[in-house]
Structure 1
Amino acid sequence: MTETTTTVLDDRAAFLDVADPGFMFTAPEVAAAREAHWYAGTPYGVMVLRHAQVQQLLRDRRLAQSGRRFLKLNGVTHGTVHDWFDTLLLHLRGEEHRRQRALVLQAFAPQALQRWRSTMRRTAERLADRLAGAGPCEFGETFADPMAVSVMSAILGVPLDDYEPRWSTDIGLVYSVGHRADALARVERSLAGLRAYADHLVSRHGTARTGDDLVSLLMSGYDGEGMDRTELRDLIVGLFFAAHDTTRNQLGQMLFTFTEHPDQWELLAERPELAEQATDEVVRWCPAAPAIFRFALEDVDFEGLRVPAESFVMLCVHAAQRDPRVFDSPDVFDITLRRPPLLSFGAGPHYCLGAATVKAEITEILTVLPRRLRAPRLTAPVVWRNPIGVCGPESLTVNFQPRTSRG
């Protein structure tokens, strides 16, 4: 990335080099920067660190997502990935956003979610048996990927045996195109695979639009909303991306956290009624998207800071959700504490559609795994994805022991 802002920073604001390959949002300098001022400078623009300011700016209509501007910041100004990323539901605004969101929202209503919870529980139980007998295993391959894909497949109406999970894993590297030499090529291949598969789904559903899965709901509604086949295809691709890659990374973050806090895992085994509260604590402690990206649509004056139009702004929910001005014992992972509402899922018109679904999925997992398995132990160093965008472990090798074993 290259710097695009001429924002004049307060002398109290620290500088955080988020472009450094070794940067982590858990680093002590991030917390120190938050205590020095409500924002910090970065190579790309301002990063907001405190809870109150992040909460306000999440709802500020003068700031918006933009796939085109994000990719331009990373040196990508044209091509297939550029054109697709700018049309993601996440990046749309106004009537176009409302129209597409209304179609998708049907599948995430509370009554619809209840239908999927039994699938979540059964899948977690089946995969728990796999973990119990695996010995040292890579958690993503053994549990997080098949869990996320199984739930995604049920919700979207996708047969498990004809879907390639690597597509929706690699497409998440779109946030790493400025940091990994192979990222753009992998995203291009994944996008091609997902688009072809989405076209197949649309064709298959063409004369059978009566199911209660998401693709059937989209097929039954898109003609009346004036959405053409290309828009429908890319909306489905975006849903694959969100439902698999983000969930997979959040599950990896969750599991790693419990390797560092085995006492909390054992507490869940004793008190499974804490699973829902533990889910909120996991997302507070280690959000898969540690910073939410915005761009200024116009010159923005906010609490003494002027952000010029077109400037990049990072809203660091990771730091904000550990802000001592709002949270008691913010640097303690404690599933028994009731915390203020999460910021991780955004706010306003772009509040995450799948928030309730991913929280339900994690809750079902945390109801099943601690009851069946002892606390996980790391057996190899963790390899992390770049923290910009959706972040989680690329390699998390752990060992579980079933509760029936001794020792």
Structure 2
Amino acid sequence: MSYLDVLDPDFDFDTPEVHAAQAESWYADSPIGLLVLRYHEASELLRDRRMEHDGKRYMETHGIVDGPIYDWFVPMIVNHEGEHHRRLRGLSNKAFTARRLAALRPFVREQSERLAGRLTGDETRDFVTEFGNRLPLAVMCRLLGVRPEDYDLIGTWTADLGLVFALSGGGDVVARLERAVVGLYDYVGHLIDEKAARPGDDLSSDLVTAHLADKSQISREELSNLLVTLVFAAHDTTRHQLDNAMLAFAGHPDQWTLLGRQPELAVQAAEEVIRWQPSVPTVYRYAVEDFDYQGLPIAKGAYLTMCVKVAQRDPRAYKAADRFDITAVRDVPPLQFGAGPHHCLGAALARVEVSEALAALATRLGPPTLACPVPRMTPIGIQGPEVLPLRFG
């Protein structure tokens, strides 16, 4: 069995060592447990009912047994199964109906075109600050009915919530995450009271109305937790996906030029950047019972990491898997949104944002060029550059 030290500061999933491990077997060992390297096995295990998130165990594994982070993460919707999960998911689905997404698309397009206009000229710009962070933050606030003047107030908190999946990184992660949780819970409390008094045509108002009509359907505590979680889900992963898209195209300027000439490829291009440079390179699960998988004993409580970035370049699942090609029609969906009952609620919205952003940028600007090397990013957790200095040709 190969051993991959994912906690080594210099580790990177896109290396010959990792590709050799994938060729050898569907799994490898690591300091944090088994790594699942191939697409088919990762997809199956994400759907396997013998595996679950187990937020309580995840927190305790990282030494967090109480406090604001624990109180937010453990009751989160993804950490529930069965009827409890279906009840909360049914309410959350209201955010992502075809009608609501269709109504949001013109706003996403207008914001994308406006922000793309800020990047014209020859000077170097930080794409994260000028575009990657701003677009999903504006969309998330529009979806939830947050006032535009509050965007900057909650933007830092929503960005820092993603650190919950990088607790093994150490440093000031826990302190930043706790500040974000406390700040957002306080903000959401005021938002709930505001929507109760003056409801609007937004998701927050819909959820508050459901709570006031039947508190057994969703309690105040569940409502607060759900809104904080939706704020995080609608912002952090998408901002990093937009930034990662620029990294992908910076390495493939011919593909950018092609997209600029054929913006109708934007939807396909969004799928390819999600496959090639996912903002969620790993997804974890715990075993809830002892079982055997492909001859390998999996013990109850075992921690498995689905290596999404590696699996999405698995030549067993994708033709020409090692090529970034926006014209390719892929036969299987990306894994970064999960699978089964816990498939990401916001996947459709993320695709809308990335495709509209790519169309707006590529038709207005030449290929992106990195002004300086991007610091190495942690392979575990949500991944994307914090600063991305770009020049557009």
Measured against the shorter chain, the TM-score band is: over 0.9
Evaluate the alpha carbon distance shift between residue 197 and residue 327 of structure 1 in structure 2; reply closer, same or farther with a 3 A threshold.
same
Q: Is the CA contact 2:196–2:205 (under 8 Å) kept in the aligned structure 1?
A: no
Equivalent residue in structure 2 for 1:333, among 324, 339, 351 = 324
Equivalent residue in structure 1 for 2:80, among 80, 86, 92 = 92
**Given the alignment of the two structures, is residue 378 of structure 1 paired with residue 370 of structure 2, yes or no?**
yes
Q: Secondary structure at the match of 1:326?
A: coil
User: C-alpha displacement at 1:67, in angstroms?
Assistant: 2.0
Q: Secondary structure at the match of 1:206?
A: helix
Displaced runs of 4+ in structure 1, greater than 6 A?
Answer: none
Equivalent residue in structure 2 for 1:353, among 331, 341, 345 = 345
User: In the alignment, what sits opposite 2:43?
Assistant: 55
CA offsets 1:213-234 (integer angstroms, 9 cap, x no match): 1101111212426222122111
Read off the aligned partner of 2:362 and give its amino acid letter. P
User: In the alignment, what sits opposite 1:193?
Assistant: 183
**Given the alignment of the two structures, is residue 182 of structure 1 paired with residue 199 of structure 2, yes or no?**
no
Equivalent residue in structure 2 for 1:266, among 248, 252, 257 = 257
Read off the aligned partner of 2:342 and give its amino acid letter. H
Query: In 1, Cα distance between the equivalents of 2:83 and 2:156?
Result: 33
Query: In 2, Cα distance between the equivalents of 1:253 and 1:362?
Result: 11
User: In the alignment, what sits opposite 1:107?
Assistant: 95
User: C-alpha displacement at 1:293, in angstroms?
Assistant: 0.7
Read off the aligned partner of 1:83 and give its amino acid letter. D
CA offsets 1:318-340 (integer angstroms, 9 cap, x no match): 11111111211100000011002
Evaluate the alpha carbon distance shift between residue 357 and residue 384 of structure 1 in structure 2; reply closer, same or farther with a 3 A threshold.
farther
Read off the aligned partner of 2:136 and give its amino acid letter. A
Query: In 1, Cα distance between the equivalents of 2:143 and 2:93?
Result: 12
RMSD across aligned positions (CA): 1.3
Query: In 1, Cα distance between the equivalents of 2:21 and 2:375?
Result: 26
Q: Secondary structure at the match of 2:297?
A: strand
Query: In 2, Cα distance between the equivalents of 1:194 and 1:383?
Result: 29
User: C-alpha displacement at 1:104, in angstroms?
Assistant: 0.9
Q: Is the CA contact 2:287–2:302 (under 8 Å) kept in the aligned structure 1?
A: yes
User: In the alignment, what sits opposite 1:173?
Assistant: 163
Query: In 1, Cα distance between the equivalents of 2:357 and 2:165?
Result: 27
TM-score by length of 1: 0.92
**Given the alignment of the two structures, is residue 215 of structure 1 paired with residue 207 of structure 2, yes or no?**
no
Q: Secondary structure at the match of 1:71?
A: helix
TM-score by length of 2: 0.96
User: In the alignment, what sits opposite 2:312?
Assistant: 321
Q: Give 5+ residue unaligned stretches, structure 2.
A: none
CA offsets 1:172-201 (integer angstroms, 9 cap, x no match): 112222213201011111111101110111
Read off the aligned partner of 2:126 and give its amino acid letter. E
**Given the alignment of the two structures, is residue 158 of structure 1 paired with residue 146 of structure 2, yes or no?**
yes
User: In the alignment, what sits opposite 2:282?
Assistant: 291
Greater shift, 119-128 or 219-228, is seen at: 219-228
User: C-alpha displacement at 1:304, in angstroms?
Assistant: 0.6
Query: In 2, Cα distance between the equivalents of 1:309 and 1:384?
Result: 34
Q: Is the CA contact 1:168–1:244 (under 8 Å) kept in the aligned structure 2?
A: yes
Q: Is the CA contact 2:136–2:234 (under 8 Å) kept in the aligned structure 1?
A: yes
Query: In 2, Cα distance between the equivalents of 1:319 and 1:386?
Result: 15
CA offsets 1:270-314 (integer angstroms, 9 cap, x no match): 111111111111111111111111000111210011111111011
Q: Secondary structure at the match of 1:190?
A: helix
